[in-house]
Amino acid sequence: MDKDIATPVRTKRILEKYGFSFKKRLGQNFLIDTNILTRIVDHAELSGQSGAIEIGPGIGALTEQLAKRSKKVVAFEIDQRLLPILEETLSPYDNVKIIHEDILKADVAQVISDEFQRIEDLMVVANLPYYVTTPIILKLLTDTLPIRGIVCMLQKEVADRIAARPGTKEYGSLSIAIQYYTEAETVMIVPKTVFVPQPNVDSAVIRLKRREQPLVEVIDEEFFFTITRASFAQRRKTISNNLTSQLPDGKAKKASILQALERSGIDPARRGETLSIEEFGKLSSELYGFFKADMT
């Protein structure tokens, strides 16, 4: 068998053979370091009975490593120009299926049902395009798919925000949205020098382990996320000021907001970044009765 896809020489040869040019708008950066790919797959803790879903396989560098370690790989690729390349590079592996579709428009639950019958352990493992990282992760989590978790490479700055803890400058509504569903941890930093073309910033690999139950119990998830986003609208403002200015009729309902904060044991002068996810859960439940009728 030919050398691994993710060597600089073989990657260059494949790209030249097909006259492939990178599209910036698709966020295409291909990894050319097999050791890093192997470590990414290690963090997914796959067995020979596992299934893997990949997003944006490129020329198949990560796909190849997943195929060696799992029972089946299904990869979503949006760029039609890569399909013939993937057909060639992945021809040694009969346990890989490429689906030419935008993951954000795909019915992933149906694909899982069709492609992973009798496979109970399922992980998403991907080198995500920077420009759609957040919508992809949130779709995978909110679609309530039967996955054990996600191991993905993304911009280091976004990984820092996802795994951030209360009281840090990185902590915000994205940290809360993802940690509500998963245990989030950055497991490696990946230098920009191991990609072609080389991006402007370093990447990180983050592991998201799906919680059996969301971290906090809330009356209405959508309302909970509305409250968290409102609380971080202007980071320098206090929580009471943000909620007053961001929620429908917030100014008219300022007394209700202050009452909900008091009932939740939260000082109105605190900033959103100091509140734990548990405190946001309590607050959203207290505010729900005052605001939900206006937001439906």
| CB proximity list for 211: less than 8 A, separation 6 or greater | 181, 182, 183
- On whether 183 is known to bind a ligand per the annotation, the reply is no
Domains of the chain, CATH where assigned: 8-210 (3.40.50.150), 221-295 (1.10.8.100)
pTM assigned to the model: 0.93
- On whether 35 is known to bind a ligand per the annotation, the reply is no
- On whether 258 is known to bind a ligand per the annotation, the reply is no
100-140 residue pLDDT tens: 999 999 999 999 999 999 999 999 999 998 889 999 999 99
Q: What is the pLDDT of residue 49?
A: 97
Question: Does residue 1 register a pLDDT over 70?
Answer: no
Is 92 or 3 the better-scoring residue by pLDDT? 92
17-37 residue pLDDT tens: 999 988 877 778 899 999 999
Distance (Å, rounded) from C-alpha 45 to C-alpha 241? 45
Neighbours of 2 (CB within 10 A): 9
> How many whole angstroms from its chain centre is CA 249?
33
- On whether 27 is known to bind a ligand per the annotation, the reply is no
- On whether 200 is known to bind a ligand per the annotation, the reply is no
63-114 residue pLDDT tens: 999 999 999 999 999 999 999 999 999 999 999 999 999 999 999 999 999 9
For residue 31, report the phi and psi dihedrals to the nearest 5 degrees. Answer: -75, 135
